[in-house]
Amino acid sequence: MFTFERHITNLDFIRQQSTGYANSHSGIKVCLVAFDEFSYRDTLFTQLSLPFPDVLKSAGAKRRAEYLAGRYAARQLLQEVGYNGVVATGTDRAPVWPRGWRGSISHTDTSAIAILTPNHFGISPGVDIEMFRPDIMQEIATSFTTADERDVLLAANCLPFDTALLIAFSAKESLFKALYPLVQQTFGFEVAKLYEIDPNTHTFTLELTRKLVPIFRAGYRVSGYYSIGPVGVTTMVYVSI
């Protein structure tokens, strides 16, 4: 899904940093970092020249570490394109990207990922990473998939069902991140259904079940991409604006 060039950092907190681009669209840049939440300290915000937002004042160290890693990844991408600013946080807690750019951020307990693309490509991207959770995926499956969707996942019989469920969950998270800046409304998992998944091409298709705004109506379909790693899955979608 992505082509990476690996960069090893010398920070205790950021263990590894990889940057590259999306194979499906070279205009989408990506930065993936591995971090150690137990090495987190508040002074890292100053050390890394990143602002400490008000929304983190009541957050615990784990949440602060995840936020910092995600914003660090996003800032690395901005620096690569010659922009020295940072990704702010809106009142809705969503990332606020610099004028002329669109992007998305996601994190787990140990990794964070950011993607970035210029506005002139006319797309809004979304990315999500999730760790494997085989102990609970089937228990919570009905909260984010319908019976028809689970049949689609079961038909992809070369994928373990728990993994297929995690891909579906992550795919819908990526779609939300791609659409939210455009529709400015929250919506649940039921608004998008998994229409298709192809383990051979590592792609999937989602379909909206109701209208969000005039251009994103019921029946609107968007394709996305997934990769399976040692500890979880990554998904990405982008929608045309």
Residue 97's CATH number: 3.90.470
- Any known ligand binding at 207? no
Our count of domains for the chain comes to 2
- Any known ligand binding at 129? yes
- Any known ligand binding at 128? yes
- Any known ligand binding at 210? no
The range of the structural domain enclosing residue 203 comes to 129-240
At residue 10, does pLDDT exceed 80?
no
195 and 103 share one domain: no
- Any known ligand binding at 106? yes
146 and 102 share one domain: no
| Residue 22: Cβ within 10 Å count | 20
Distance CA(239)–CA(183), nearest Å, equals: 12
Q: Are 177 and 126 in contact (CB under 8 A)?
A: yes
- Any known ligand binding at 107? yes
20 and 99 share one domain: yes
At residue 82, does pLDDT exceed 90?
yes
106 and 41 share one domain: yes
- Any known ligand binding at 130? yes
- Any known ligand binding at 37? no
| The model's pTM | 0.96
Q: How far is CA 226 from the centre of its chain?
A: 11
Q: Are 171 and 130 in contact (CB under 8 A)?
A: no
Contacts of 239 (CB under 8 A, 6+ apart): 123, 124, 175, 178, 179, 182, 216, 222
Reported as a pLDDT band with limits 50, 70 and 90, residue 135 is confident
109 and 214 share one domain: no
- Any known ligand binding at 221? no
What pLDDT digit, counting tens, does each position of 42-71 carry? Answer: 999 999 999 999 999 999 999 999 999 999
